[in-house]
Chain A
Amino acid sequence: MAKLPNRTEMLDFDFSLPPEGWMDTKTEFKDGMFCHAVKPEKLETVGMPNAHKWSASDEDWGLPENWKEIILQGMADRLEKYRSFKLFMDVCVRCGACADKCHFYMGTGDPKNMPVLRAELLRSVYKRYFTRAGRMFGSLVGARDLTEDVIKEWWYYFYQCTECRRCSAFCPYGIDQAEITIMGRELLNLLGLNTDWIAGPVENCYMRGNHVGLTPPAILDNVEFMMDDLETVTGHHFEPSFNRKGAEILLVCPSGDLFAEPGTFTFMGYIMLLEHLGLDYTLSTYASEGGNFGFFTSNEMAKRLNSKIYAEAERLGVKWILGGECGHMWRLMQQYMDTWNGPADFLEQPVSPITGTVFENAASTKMVHMVEFTADLIYNKKIKLDPSRNDDWVVTFHDSCNTARGMGILEEPRYIIKNVCNHFYEMPDETIREKTLCCGSGSGLNAGENMELRMRGGFPRAEAVRSVVDRFGVNMVANICAIDRAAMPALMDYWNPGVGIVGTHELVGNALVLDENDHRTMNLRQEELPSARKEKEIADAVAAVNGPENGEGGAA
């Protein structure tokens, strides 16, 4: 793995431009800026085409003989199937409004990371083969031939885009680089050119039900472990059920929440809340993933992975589905799932059993976001909260790209956080809500070998965090995204050491008062609560007055 540059080295760039045009600049594969090439077995398991051994650093990528034909046919198909693709190829005027909106551009200064140029990488080929002007006038109208170097360039730069849609919010025609990257990656996948980091979770999710490849015993073990921890913290023992038929609600989470900190604390938060409410819900080992790395591969693969959720809801006979905190998972639940695998007419319109609220915005998909569910509980005063338990944390909220620009869940998490925390501060306006900056690791880029890319891509977000660290002493970034929870601890360690990452439902879990005897001394991370610390201090003070021999124990 490439050595990670230090801060000074990382920031030693500017927005100056090379003298030669972008078409004449050959792609330089820089270590730390790209992921490993996919191993063929992973593609074979799920039946993806042209699986073969190759490496990005090789001169010869071992493309199939008719690779050009495959790409051009692939483009022709997709131009028919996606109006977005065709239109976005045609209407860009290169006004440049998007150019400096991309976090990868801001963090690398590489001009091909301007969304407009990332799109031109593909648009130039579109013009050459699909427009009369391009066939006739070539480079005069921005067209160029499709060569193996172009394929390599696509691969390098379409995997330097997190499909965050920030550029799309600023584009006067709504051109969405995410759509173009999605098409670009689909085309690359026709040639067997995925990354290993994406293909691995896809294979796992297809065969075992979740990205991290947890088998049923592993899932149950992990959950049991978490429930033991919860018992330590709260004194209550919870036993969530799995694959239980006849439950009212199926809970689907990103598998990251079952796997590693701090996601596991978020999962503990969900379970505490649902168990406390006495909800009739179950989890599934088969539909044990809400996220979908298939979406970073191809539309078809995404649909195949997503199909488990409705299938399992139907098999278990639940009434509706509740979904955990995850960014791209929720873009898909909102904008794709019902279209792919619906209609979900075997389910019922979701109604909160506690408040009676009918979730009208989920009338067709029948899936409710956990923060909608919890915000409704708090608004209707159905749960008792003690925000002082989160008093050690000065919190800010990082909107994840997908829930912000692919849904518009902006107020719900803020409402919750303000009810479960006493210290909440917003980052600058230009960096939150619909203008939120990506963590730099979305859309399957959260690998280890491309750490430099991730640190650069996440730099603008880290800068925004730094500004609230300096002004308000923020030490915790809340989110509703499993990729954030997985990827941002490393980002904060690099740019803002000492700042932690927390799922919104971990904050809820901490604040949730289970009953009148719920006097906790620890948060879900088993760190001492401020109240407990104070009690101890008082006890120490009392002990100090009473005599030194008693005081020692307390001070230890």
Chain B
Amino acid sequence: MRIVGPIIAVCALAGIAWLGTGPLSLYTLFGVIIPYCAFAAFVVGFIIRILNWGRSAVPFRIPTTAGQEKSLPWIKQNKLDNPSSKAGVVGRMALEVLFFRSLFRNASTEKTEDGIAIGSAKWLWLFALIFHWSMLIIVLRHFRLFLDPIPAWITALEGLDGMFQIGLPVIYLTDLGIVAGITFLFIRRVVVPRIRYISQTIDYFPLVLLFGIALAGIIMRYFTKVDMSAVKELTLGLVRFTPQATVTEPIFYIHIFLVCCLLVYFPWSKLMHAGGIFLSPTRNMANNSRAVRHVNPWNYEVKKHTYEEYENENWEKMQALGLPLDYEHVKEEEPPAEAEAGAAEGAPEAANTEDSEG
């Protein structure tokens, strides 16, 4: 059900779009009203989530250090995996966000009969990277629909994306990439027992949804060939707030309805990792808390056992040892010092101390 459920759900969503724009011809609803609402929901939701995280304090400087720290001048610091400056943090974050640095460390652990074996495992990193980069480029390519004239960088990007000039229309590498990426990530969840065990409905759903979006897009571009001038009229109209939904092909509306579902779903789901990673305290902080004091905004006074109390409790013993003393001894009615005298001999707590604690 965790796997089939999302597939049924996405099919149902696609069905709604087909019903609405095929038999019912609700073009303005699916082409204008829903996209506007979905986009607004995305922007507002995204901001709310970021602000919500931002409201929580960062009491301590807790980077996960993954290399040599800044130390003595002759010891080479690993400035990207263990940054001590803002520039280093920017570098670390860039590596993390653009190239999935941490995921690149991935290894797989297998249990053998009498031990364990740790081996290389770069597949997740590779396909995750292919998927995310493809998605980014595809989103950027779509800007051609919202801008007039089309900026040169988009044309250049399209040229690069279709550089092998295979097929007509030219096949974009990113179209292959996103399908390959999603397929890998999905199959991995279904097939690898460990990953299947930890996967929930909400892990399959976004993959199926994205697959649906990509599929509808690919059908439109390579097979059914929608009326691009009508599409561009609608998309430019949306940007200029003079929308005209003259497109009539349901496949187009299925595509954008699924995109709308993604936009609405995005801020309230795990997909917010896209925003969250920038706020991750184990990655976005410099490891310099011994050199530069970090302030905890909610730091408060706590009850302590002061030296004065300590000295008073141990006064006689300390005096007998000739240790320097700061205070006059204040005797309590029943000095507890005698009761604990046995402890002075060696190891108190010895009964439960198999190893020492450090």
Contacts and interface: CB of A to CB of B under 8 A. Distances in A.
A494 interface: no
B331 to A, nearest CB: 18
Interface string B62-94: 101111111110111010011010000000000
Contacts of B287: 334, 407-408
Nearest to A133: B268
Contacts of B321: 216-217, 220
Contacts of B57: 80-83
A87 interface: yes
12 contacts: A11-B114, A81-B59, A101-B109, A171-B102, A213-B349, A243-B324, A312-B307, A365-B290, A407-B287, A409-B71, A410-B69, A430-B118
Contact of A201 (B194, B303, B323, B357): B357
B53 A168 contact: no
B65 A87 contact: no
A407 B198 contact: no
A31 B49 CA distance: 43
A161 interface: no
Given A172-B100, A411-B68, A411-B76, A84 B194 contact: no
A133 B266 CA distance: 12
Interface string A283-323: 00110000101000001100110011001100100000000
A16 B111 CA distance: 10
A486 B353 CA distance: 11
Q: Which 6 pairs between the two chains have the least Cβ-Cβ distance?
A: A482-B358, A408-B69, A256-B358, A174-B282, A91-B276, A448-B354
B59 A339 contact: yes
Interface in A164-205: 165, 168-176, 179, 196-197, 200-201, 204
Interface stretch (B224-232, B236-244, B291-299): B291-299
Contact of A176 (B62, B305, B343): B62
A96 B293 CA distance: 35
A99 interface: yes
Nearest to A304: B302
Contacts of A333: 290
A96 B68 contact: no
Interface in A59-114: 79-87, 90-97, 99-101, 106, 109, 111, 114
A446 B283 CA distance: 30
A482 B293 CA distance: 27
Contacts of B349: 200, 204, 212-213
Contact of A431 (B58, B118, B198, B310): B118
Interface in A1-59: 11, 13-17, 21-22, 47
Interface string A467-485: 0000000000000011101
Given A84-B281, A334-B289, A460-B109, 6 more contacts: A83-B57, A96-B194, A285-B318, A334-B290, A364-B293, A486-B355
Nearest to A198: B357
Interface residues of A, number: 152
A100 B295 contact: no
Interface in B193-250: 193-195, 197-203
Contact of A14 (B55, B111, B276): B111
A428 interface: yes
B107 interface: yes
Nearest to A293: B357
A466 B116 CA distance: 12
A447 B192 CA distance: 36
A174 B82 contact: no
Interface stretch (A150-158, A371-379, A546-554): A371-379
A81 B55 CA distance: 9
Contacts of A526: none
A377 to B, nearest CB: 11
A214 interface: yes
A490 B280 contact: no
Interface string B338-354: 00100111111100111
Given A96-B192, A207-B305, A111 B197 contact: yes
Contact of A97 (B71, B103, B118): B103
Interface in B82-134: 82, 84, 96, 100, 102-103, 105-111, 113-116, 118, 124, 128
Given A96-B194, A111-B197, A410 B68 contact: yes
B339 to A, nearest CB: 12
A129 interface: no
A140 interface: yes
B338 to A, nearest CB: 12
A353 interface: no
A147 interface: no
Interface residues of B, number: 113
A535 interface: no
B298 to A, nearest CB: 6
B333 interface: no
A212 B347 contact: yes
Contact of A338 (B103, B107, B200, B293): B293
Contacts of B141: none
Contacts of A111: 194, 197-198
Contacts of A311: 304, 306-307
Contacts of A106: 109, 111, 116
Given A336-B60, A410-B68, A486-B355, A218 B198 contact: no
Nearest to A222: B346
A411 to B, nearest CB: 5
A245 interface: yes
A132 B273 contact: no
A175 B161 CA distance: 34
Contacts of B269: 133
A281 B345 CA distance: 26
Interface string B3-36: 0000000000000000000000000000000000
A405 interface: yes
Contacts of A87: 53, 56, 276, 279-281
B142 interface: no
Contacts of A260: 355-356
B53 A211 contact: no
Contacts of A97: 102-103, 106, 124
A415 B74 CA distance: 11
A257 interface: yes
Given A411-B75, A446-B355, A176 B307 contact: no
Contacts of A93: 203, 270, 273
Given A172-B277, A339-B294, A94 B198 contact: yes
A120 B347 contact: no
B299 A339 contact: yes
B287 to A, nearest CB: 6
B324 A263 contact: no
Contact of A95 (B60, B128, B304, B320): B128
A97 B104 CA distance: 10
A481 B67 CA distance: 18
Contacts of A299: 59
Interface centre among A117, A404, A428 (most CB of B within 10 A): A404
Contact of A303 (B108, B302, B344): B302
A216 B199 contact: no
A326 B358 contact: yes
A385 interface: no
A379 B306 CA distance: 40
A446 to B, nearest CB: 5
A99 B340 CA distance: 48
B102 A169 contact: yes
B51 to A, nearest CB: 12
Contacts of A392: none
A446 B58 CA distance: 30
A231 interface: no
Interface in A217-259: 217-218, 220-222, 242-245, 254-257, 259
Contact of A174 (B102, B113, B200, B345): B102
A206 interface: yes
Contacts of B344: 215, 217-218, 221
